[in-house]
């Protein structure tokens, strides 16, 4: 593998080999990451990368797209079948442009939109202040309750008060099932479009381990590289309910992606790889995989709680969980992320509901089970991993995040220097490597 690359560019080859070694010897537990199959990677690295195909099947701006049209049509049909929708667009380069296309199709500049608050586990493109979605549209965020669950009473109250044109549901760090039906009733009550961003749970939906939004929403967007286990990319589906609300909604979505949106020629090698992932996702083996992701997440959450760690909402119903580190102090996420990284466990620092610190120095870490489930790990391994994480937590519990910025820089520098020689962290890393040796990546 990579025989030509090793000769043409040994520097890049060596870096790819180093990354492969890192993944092979460690636990990838960022819930938005996974390990793709070799078949997906082969499609992604195919000759389809060379072809320009602006436009849509049978309506291209370039010649020579006879085969490309067949590829894209096949993937469209697989997307429609996988999600149970009458319309699909598989051209978005990633999730963010997919979501921006929804704004262009459903809204006018300045319209009111609603989405889950960013620090409550929401998504940047659902109206976060730092994102273009809040620059061009009036953003009204909704929040979680103190128990870590969505505040659906607030959602309805805000919707009735502001009458938004578009409501988003779906999140990046919410460990509970999304109540699509309840969102649908609220959207119908105020006449809003309802878009479900299922980027994190797309694979769970196809596997049947999370409820489908298709009967309750007008539009579904998703990335393709998380629980779906495909290449990095995006898709937009229009549901039957969406076409009933606006029979031209599918056409509007397509025009918003190209040519009216932020994209040019589609990445047909990426689209083909998405098609491979969709085919894999509609197999009995993938259904079993999707259910095992959730079983593993629940087992891991139970072990973390048993070890005395605190989780937002007290557990999980999907593929992820967020450890609330406020019992150790505020802003402790950076310490936990880096200590775990040194131990060979990859997670990401993350805000918690009612975050007492900031997104740059948040008070939690987010972790999940999609990638380690791909490697074949099950509940027994989750118990071991929970123990690893709890042991690392003990190494940071006496630390604190200085308020002064200059002191903070020096404190973090010293912390990182000490990590490299921490005996307990080294011991956990050795045990992680031993565990990983029994579960190869694809």
Q: Which residues are catalytic?
A: 52, 54, 197, 223, 226, 232
Is 193 strand, coil or helix? strand
CB 192 within 8 A of CB 165: yes
Distance, CA of 236 to CA of 196 (rounded, Å)? 10
Burial class (CB in 10 A: 0-12, 13-18, 19+), 291: middle
CB 267 within 8 A of CB 72: no
CB 123 within 8 A of CB 115: yes
Exposure string over 124-152, b if 16+ CB within 10 A, otherwise e: bbbbbeebebbebbebbbbbbeeebbbbe
Distance, CA of 389 to CA of 383 (rounded, Å)? 10
CA atoms within 13 A on the CB side of 58: 2
Exposure string over 303-342, b if 16+ CB within 10 A, otherwise e: bbeeeebbbbbebbbbbbbbbbbbebbbbbbbbbbbbbbb
Sort strands 219-223 and 166-169 into parallel, antiparallel or unpaired: unpaired
DSSP lists the bridge partners of residue 134 as none
Distance, CA of 147 to CA of 20 (rounded, Å)? 39
């Amino acid at each position: 593998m990579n025989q030509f690359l090793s000769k043409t560019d040994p520097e890049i080859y060596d870096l790819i080999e180093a990354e492969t070694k890192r993944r092979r010897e460690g636990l990838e537990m960022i819930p938005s990451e996974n390990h793709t199959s070799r078949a997906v990677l082969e499609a992604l690295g195919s000759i389809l990368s060379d072809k320009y195909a602006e436009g849509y099947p049978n309506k291209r701006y370039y010649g020579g797209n006879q085969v490309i049209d067949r590829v894209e049509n096949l993937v469209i049909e697989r997307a429609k079948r996988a999600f149970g929708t009458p319309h699909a667009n598989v051209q978005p380069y990633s999730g963010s442009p997919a979501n921006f296309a929804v704004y262009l199709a459903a809204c006018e500049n300045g319209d009111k939109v609603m989405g889950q608050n960013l620090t409550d586990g929401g998504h940047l493109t659902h109206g976060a202040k730092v994102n273009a979605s809040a620059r061009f549209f009036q953003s009204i965020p909704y929040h979680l309750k103190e128990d870590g669950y969505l505040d659906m009473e607030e959602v309805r109250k805000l919707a009735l008060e502001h009458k938004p044109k578009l409501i988003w549901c779906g999140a990046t760090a919410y460990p509970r099932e999304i109540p699509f039906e309840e969102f649908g009733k609220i959207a119908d009550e105020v006449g809003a479009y309802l878009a479900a961003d299922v980027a994190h749970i797309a694979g769970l939906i196809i596997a049947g381990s999370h409820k489908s939004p298709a009967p309750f929403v007008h539009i579904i967007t998703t990335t393709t590289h998380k629980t779906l286990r495909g290449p990095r990319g995006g898709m937009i589906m229009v549901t039957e309910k969406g076409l009933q609300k606006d029979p031209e909604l599918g056409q509007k979505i397509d025009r918003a992606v190209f040519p009216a949106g932020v994209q040019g020629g589609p990445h047909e090698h990426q689209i083909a790889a998405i098609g491979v992932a969709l085919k894999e996702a509609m197999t009995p083996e993938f259904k079993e995989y999707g259910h095992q992701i959730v079983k593993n997440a629940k087992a891991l959450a139970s072990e973390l709680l048993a070890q005395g760690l605190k989780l937002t909402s007290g557990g999980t119903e999907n593929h992820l969980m967020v450890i609330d580190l406020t019992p150790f102090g505020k802003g402790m996420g950076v310490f936990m992320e880096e200590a775990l990284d040194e131990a060979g466990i990859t997670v990401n620092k993350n805000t918690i509901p009612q975050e007492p610190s900031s997104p740059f120095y948040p008070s939690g870490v987010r972790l999940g089970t999609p990638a380690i489930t791909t490697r074949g790990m099950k509940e027994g391994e989750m118990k071991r991993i929970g123990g690893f994480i709890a042991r690392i937590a003990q190494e940071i519990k006496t630390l604190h995040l200085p308020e002064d910025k200059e002191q903070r820089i020096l404190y973090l520098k010293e912390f990182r220097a000490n990590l490299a020689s921490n005996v307990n962290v080294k011991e956990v890393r050795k045990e992680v490597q031993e565990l990983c040796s029994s579960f190869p990546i694809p």
